[in-house]
Structure 1
């Protein structure tokens, strides 16, 4: 099972989370998010903006297997490409109303010249059974789906949706289960069964404060989920 911890920002906290043996680390590049990872303009007009929160590239040597996921919401192709370059992102997660055309254009621009084998996740917000069908628009153009709770904010609601709805998903692409997963959900996750579910996405319910993860809580959860 892939374990993705999203909404990271603090350098030391990132290294602690990586040391727990997680597979993917998520960075949110959505300015309205309380977990937003900001940038500093190079002011030159020639070079990409400069990442200032931490040296994300050190993760590559710290634990070579961790993948870096950038989360975007209806952002421009230019901003997405800039962050792929500056943070050496492995996966782009799109959490808004992005079009399949944008995804195809990003892939053709990035792969292979800028980032070979870049991958894409399309997040699908779920409240009712009819929401599942949205995957059909994107299935040919993404590598994974992420099913999250539909809410007024963009992710990070801390609330579950009815996972039984996912029985309606009959697509070919694998997906991650998201939406308010809590430390006490270990057994519920173990009982959830879908042939295309390959992992889980953890965020707000494992935090001390926005973007700062509770290492003790995460460690206990990961140990129990891997038993």
Structure 2
């Protein structure tokens, strides 16, 4: 999210999370004040290989409820943040770029120091590539840690998402696919969401 008016309009749709990108090398870079939005919406700061003190400053300034780490942050880095967030709970979402050769063993060291994993499409950009990866690989997901599904998700992926939900439900793991992260396929321009398209997408899951 980027434009205050657009932020307020999206907030009326009551998403569970709303993302604000504090990575300067993207047209979606957020450098403004977040307008007042319902407290049930978790304000999420997106960072890429950022210093801990900068993350803490943004968390305090914008009263963030979650952070999404989209770079090469280590498990030790996440563990340090988790300790710092003990008094003021802030969810930690660690992003992994996935393709057909993704090694799920990479997740092991992060298991106990993050709240959620997020799987995005491996591409030339740090997110926002606008393409999906092969979700079939998620059927080999070895963890019990819930995850966000991201990467080029648009209205045309609704049935595939429901199929993946059904797969985990049949396995008795219906809580694993925790959230759907949508972005570029719902934008009129970077950071500017199309409200009508978002409304239609949400109705598919209600």
Q: Could you state the TM-score of these two structures normalised by the residue count of structure 1?
A: 0.84
Partners of 1:163 and 1:142 in 2: how far apart?
22
Per-residue CA distance 1:138-188 (angstroms, 9 max, x = gap): 111100000100011000001010000011111021001111001222112
In structure 1, the residue matched to 2:68 is: 93
Partners of 1:131 and 1:13 in 2: how far apart?
38
In structure 1, the residue matched to 2:136 is: 164
RMSD (Å) for aligned C-alpha atoms: 1.2
Per-residue CA distance 1:182-219 (angstroms, 9 max, x = gap): 12221121111332111100000000000000000001
1:9 aligns with 2:2: yes
In structure 1, the residue matched to 2:191 is: 211
Cα deviation for residue 54 of structure 1 reads: 2.7
The answer for unaligned runs of 5 or more in structure 1 is: 1-7, 39-52
Higher RCO (Cα < 8 Å, 6 or more apart):
1
Per-residue CA distance 1:6-54 (angstroms, 9 max, x = gap): xx0111111111111211001111111110112xxxxxxxxxxxxxx23
In structure 1, the residue matched to 2:160 is: 188
Determine if contact 2:104/2:142 at 8 Å carries over to the other structure.
no
In structure 1, the residue matched to 2:127 is: 155
Secondary structure of residue in 1 paired with 2:5: helix
The answer for unaligned runs of 5 or more in structure 2 is: none
Partners of 1:152 and 1:215 in 2: how far apart?
28
1:55 aligns with 2:27: no
Cα deviation for residue 137 of structure 1 reads: 2.4
